[in-house]
Amino acid sequence: MTDTSADLVILGGGSGGYACALRAAELGLSVVLVEKDKLGGTCLHRGCIPTKALLHAAEVADSARDGDQFGVKSSLEGIDIAGVNSYKDGVVNRLFKGLQGLVKSRGITYVNAAGTLTSPTTVEAEGVTYTGRHVVLATGSYARSLPGLDIGGRVVTSDQALNLDFVPERVVVLGGGVIGVEFASVWRSFGAEVTVVEALPRLVPNEDEYLSKQLERAFRRRGITFKTGVRFTGVTQDDTSVSVNLESGEQLDADLLLVAVGRGPNSAGHGFEEVGVATDRGFVVTDERLRTSVPGVFAVGDLVPGLQLAHRGFQQGIFVAEEIAGLNPSTIDEAGIPRVTYCEPEVASVGLTETAAKEKYGEVQTLVYDLGGNGKSQILKTSGAVKLVKAGAKGQDGPVVGVHMIGARVGELIGEAQLIYNWEAFPGEVAELVHAHPTQNEALGEAHLALAGKPLHAHG
């Protein structure tokens, strides 16, 4: 008989839920973790990990196709989608097994069943009531659609797109945010004709406008078509194709329509409202310490309004475990959470966009450092840039409040960028750090040298 009472009962075993469980167990708290699907949640099984595996396969395809640029005689014979899926699933399964082992080794009571919140201290799963001193809601999110747009047949979300057994020849992607541009990038590398439709005026609309312009330019070069500032009005499909209608009167014909219009909170049907947990458009409302409107009940991850990122949920899970254990952890600054879009070229940012920084600080100074001046970027044959946003006018001291990057592999540079933002570093302080040569990391160093008023290679 499993123990049905614990210090924490966690509803949901994704990035937020399992991180909370592992940290709480490490701190000596007893934990019940309830998950109806697979441990690891969306991120591991239907999100970050499998999509990045596809994106790596896409990079390999591009390398094979473009070998001549580097004096290497290679060509792309084709995409073995069964082989790609086997590679992707292998990565997921290894991580899944590792995570299962971790949870088991920490003495966490794992309940693989659908759970319902039945009171501020109880969760019911398969007829058993689990009682906790605290309850943590971590039920995550689902792939949203638009009103009247039914998913099925040749209309898919990222969930189905990850497991396709064919490469579409022509595909329309509805939504030019992170998920949309990542899939557009994969399918283009695999040889498809891709059209992205975004209702807002630009691709990756949550990023700094400069990055959107650079990504649009790169997509044009790659032959990815996109239509921005235009709304979808309807879709019809048959056994072999799909027709997408836009408010401009245009009709797009394709093999597949990917609906990538964001993710909605998984809050319905879990008893939240019945117990009195306040929600806003389905999202669970919390304070900065992730407490819900019901005392003793916390919420983490995609369920909570804000950035829907696995590493945000993960950090929030750790925060809540430490909060319950009485460690009084520092609150999480949402702007300090790094953001990466893994299309080709990659987009990575942390802190405030230029527009947001102007709203907050009034005067700001910006600097753009082109990757054309960076040796490693030239070796990789990537173009792109690093854009810095500093609080205060030119000539005034002030911290760097935004770092925005685009180019192959710039996601790997976000580690230093987030330290710069979160430690409120001044440009001159970063300029004193030695950046290894030749690395793309040097581009960050050079950008800060230029912003500090001592450009070596930049045209300041």
- Residues serving a catalytic function are 437
Separation of alpha carbons 300 and 282, rounded Å: 14
What size, in residues, is the chain? 460
* Strands 400-407 and 385-391, sheet pairing: antiparallel
Separation CA 144–CA 164 (nearest Å):
19
Whole-angstrom distance, CA of residue 265 vs CA of residue 141: 4
User: 280 is written with which tokens?
Assistant: 């806003």
Residue 399 class from Cβ within 10 Å (0-12 exposed, 13-18 middle, 19+ buried)?
middle
At 6, list the tokens: 């614990």
- Parallel, antiparallel, or unpaired for β 193-198 and 170-174? parallel
8 A C-beta contact, residue 441 and residue 430: no
Please, what sign has the CA dihedral across residues 408, 344, 213, 205?
negative
**Angle (CA) 208 217 370, round 5°:** 65
Q: What angle do CA 439, 442, 443 make, to 5 degrees?
A: 110
Contact 447, 458 (CB under 8 A): yes
What DSSP line would sit under 105-172, residue for residue?
HTT-EEE-S-EEEEETTEEEETTEEEEEEEEEE---EEE---TT---BTTEE-HHHHTT-SS--SEEE
Q: How many CB atoms lie within 10 A of CB 333?
A: 11
- Is the Cβ–Cβ distance between 12 and 284 less than 8 Å? no
